[in-house]
Each structure stands twice: as C-alpha cells, then as structure tokens.
Amino acid sequence: MSDPLFEFCCRMGDNTLVLGHRVSEWCGVAPVLEEDIALANTALDLIGQTQLWLGLAGEVEGKGRDADKLAFHRDVWDFRNVLLAEQPNGDFGQTMMRQFLFDSWHLMYLKALMSSSHEQVAAIAEKSVKEVTYHLERSTDTVIGLGDGTTESHERMQKALDRLYSFVGEMFIDDEVDAAMVEAGIAPDPSSLRAEYDAQLDAVLAEATLTKPEDDFAHKGGKTGVRHTEHLGHMLTQMQWLQRAYPDATW
C-alpha cells in the first residue's frame, strides 16, 4: 500500500472528481433552467474541491504529479472514490437521491476533518463545508419535494433509493488507511459517523414518505480500488479522452 495520507487524499479528491463529473453531465440538459444552473454550480464546487484534494495528494506523494495528472492520467483501478459517486445519473430523481445520500455523509465527514491534525486537510475541509452545506440543503429539499410529491415522482424516488441504498454502506467501512488516519489524528473512523447519518437519513425519508430498504447489504471496493463498478471505466473514457489523445495539451 502507498502512503496512507496519499490514499486518503485520493479518496477525498476522487469522490469529488467523479461525482462532480457525473453531475456536470447534466449541464444543458436538466429538466428546468434553474436546476441546470444548480447542478452546474454543484459540479463546479466539487471540481474545485478536487483541485485542492488531488493537489495535496500530489504534494504528499512528491513524485511531481499535480491534480490534473492524477485526474487525467490514472486508470480505473487507481481511483479511490466510493462506488456511490460513480453510479450513472439515471433520471433527475436518481441523480438527486445519489446527491443527497452522498452530501449527508460528505458534510458530516468534512465537519470532522475541520479539527484534523493536518493543517492543509483542516483548511480544505473548512473551505468545503461552506459549499457542501448548500449542496445538502438543496438535495434534502429536492428528495423531500419529489418523494412527497406526485405519484409519479414518489415512485421514481423510491426506485432511486432502492437502487442506490446498497452503495451507502461503503462510506462507513473502516480499513487500514482509516486506521492510519485515526492514529495520526488526521481523520475520524468512518464507522463512527454511521449512527448520526442513519438518524438524519431516517428523518428525511420519513418526511419524503419514502421507505428505506430492509436489506443492509453493502457493495464495496471503490474506496480501496479493488473493484469498481463497470460504470467508472465508461465515465473515464469520456472524462479523460482529450488528455489521453493529446497528452499534456494546454490552451
């Protein structure tokens, strides 16, 4: 295993990169103009945070790779994002359910990172918390609005939850990278946030009149890079093609 701090920064940066790219796929085709702008702004925040996390990852690694190099010149097995982030957009409801499930975890984790022993990690978290607070406010409102909406929107949101819930568990699995972060006082154990997450999830789902699936099975393999879903590779062919076809092209 490479330096745990490098792994940790890649996990943070790949989550925001992959989800940011996914959300940006809506640009120009969202259901209404306001949502199009909101999705593009959310994607922009996430890509901005990616520059900070992957920039730090490159510094920690010390091999001369910057954020762009890490984003565009790694293969699918080198990515460390959770599987939830790479799931396809589906319909608007599925995109917003994915956003809500991620934002809830993201905000809790970032808030904990604000007291990190690592100065740069704490600074990136402090900056990100302000942006992600907005993301969560909006995704929560949308999940409630569509869940407790028309018969059609309710059904779609329930379907989205049923499809995505099995990807929630991975965000709370502890492994040796997390253990090293806990020991260094850099980050908390993800599992320590589960109870708070569940309480928040249950409250929002109740208001959205949605039912949490009973099965707690969790897909895993994203944050370790052991096994991504097939969707990530397809996404990278889109995201990376220019830098792959014309390496180090600039304008």
Partner 1 sequence: MVGERPSIETVWEWLSAVPDPEIPVISLTDLGIIRDVAWQGDTLEVTVTPTYSGCPATTIINLDIETALREHGIENLSLKRQLSPAWTTDWLTEEGKAKLEEYGIAPPQPAGGPKHCPLCKSENVERISQFGSTPCKAQWRCTDCLEPFDYFKCI
**Which residue ranges make up the site for partner 1 (CB under 8 A)?**
34-35, 37-38, 41-42, 44-49, 51-52, 119-120, 122-124, 126-131, 134, 137-138
Smallest distance, Å, CB 203 to partner 1? Answer: 20
User: Do residues 207 and 216 make contact, with C-beta atoms less than 8 angstroms apart?
Assistant: no
According to DSSP, residue 29 is labeled: T
Residue 23 or 83 with smaller CB distance to partner 1: 23
Cβ proximity to partner 1, 136 vs 168, nearer residue: 136
CB of 219 to partner 1, least distance (A): 29
Residue 20 vs residues 37, 50, 151, 157, 187: alpha-carbon distances, Å: 14, 9, 30, 21, 22
Task: Count the neighbouring beta carbons within 10 Å of the beta carbon of residue 32.
Answer: 9
Which CB atom, from 25 or from 162, has the smaller least distance to partner 1?
A: 25
Q: How far is the CB of 191 from partner 1 (least distance, A)?
A: 28
User: To the nearest whole angstrom, how small is the minimum distance from the Cβ of residue 123 to partner 1?
Assistant: 4
Minimum Å gap between C-beta 59 and partner 1 is 13
Distance of alpha carbon 127 from alpha carbon 199, whole angstroms: 26
CA angle 51, 246, 227 (to 5 degrees): 60
| Distance in angstroms (rounded) separating the CA atoms of residues 149 and 158 | 12
Other CB atoms within a 10 A radius of the CB of residue 61 amount to: 16
Closest CB to partner 1 among residues 80, 138: 138
- Which H helix or E strand runs over 204? helix 194-207
Quick one: angle between helices 4-24 and 33-61, nearest 10? 160
Specify the residue, 87 or 142, whose C-beta has the smaller distance to partner 1.
Answer: 142
Q: Look up tokens 């934002």; give the residue.
A: 103
Minimum CB distance to partner 1 smaller for 168 or for 204 = 204
What is the smallest separation between the CB atom of 133 and partner 1, expressed in angstroms? Answer: 8
